């Protein structure tokens, strides 16, 4: 499936609360402005921000049941994708954005205020230093190779935790290279915004 910017916008309009599009428009404007000061995302991707960053982030919600309650942990949030988009679309549930780079932390904190996201929490530190708490969902976009990602985040997982991990073209290979016990927990679905990209999905507690 190939999205246009208009189709991506229409899809996002159906997913979130009534003011979601307004907040996403503000995020797009702020992203373009800040990208002149620091390289948050590639300049080319700003021409398709609704597809490449917003819809690409929002599609992760397809793999988490609507009735799921609890914190969504986004590891290595960087420019805020998927974390900021998820916080906009899931206003009634907490979204925890974990990021260790100072300028990215400042950007995320500024966006939390400008976008009025009281449900969004910024953990400005390395994942190893984040206090252990239970996650309903764990996501990570370009954070670390899958084995390292699972090892570092295992202590946040429970038997009910959903894992939604965009992995680009390497998704299937990274799952295949996991130890057998872990490999049985995960499978890959194709991204709806990029025909060459995969999303690693699973549910359950990962033993460190």
Query: Which fold, 5-203?
Result: Rossmann fold (3.40.50)
Q: Which residue in 128, 185, 194 sits closest to 162, CA to CA?
A: 185
Contacts of 109 by beta carbon, 8 Å cutoff, 6+ apart: 122, 124
Predicted TM-score of the model (pTM): 0.95
Structural domain boundaries of the chain?
5-203
DSSP annotation of 128 reads G
Which ranges of the chain have pLDDT less than 50?
A: none
Pure H helices in the chain: 5-15, 20-34, 49, 56-58, 83-89, 102-114, 146-153, 171-176, 180-183
- Which pLDDT does position 142 carry in this prediction? 83
């Amino acid at each position: 499936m190939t999205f246009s910017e208009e189709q991506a916008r229409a899809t996002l309009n159906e997913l979130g609360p009534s003011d979601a599009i307004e907040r996403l428009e503000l995020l797009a404007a702020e992203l373009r402005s800040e990208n002149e000061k620091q390289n948050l995302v590639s300049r080319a991707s700003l021409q398709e921000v609704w597809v490449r960053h917003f819809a690409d982030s929002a599609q992760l919600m397809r793999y988490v049941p609507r009735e799921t309650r609890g914190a969504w942990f986004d590891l290595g949030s960087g420019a805020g994708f998927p974390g900021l988009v998820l916080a906009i679309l899931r206003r009634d549930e907490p979204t925890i954005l974990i990021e260790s780079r100072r300028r990215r932390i400042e950007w995320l904190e500024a966006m939390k205020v400008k976008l009025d996201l009281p449900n969004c929490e910024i953990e400005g530190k390395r994942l190893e230093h984040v206090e252990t708490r239970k996650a309903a969902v764990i996501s990570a976009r370009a954070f670390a190779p899958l084995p390292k990602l699972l090892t570092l985040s295992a202590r946040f997982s429970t038997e009910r935790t959903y894992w939604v991990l965009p992995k680009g073209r390497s998704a299937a290979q990274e799952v295949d290279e996991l130890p057998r016990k872990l490999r049985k927990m995960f499978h890959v679905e194709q991204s709806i915004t990029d025909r060459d990209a995969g999303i690693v999905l699973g549910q359950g507690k990962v033993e460190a």
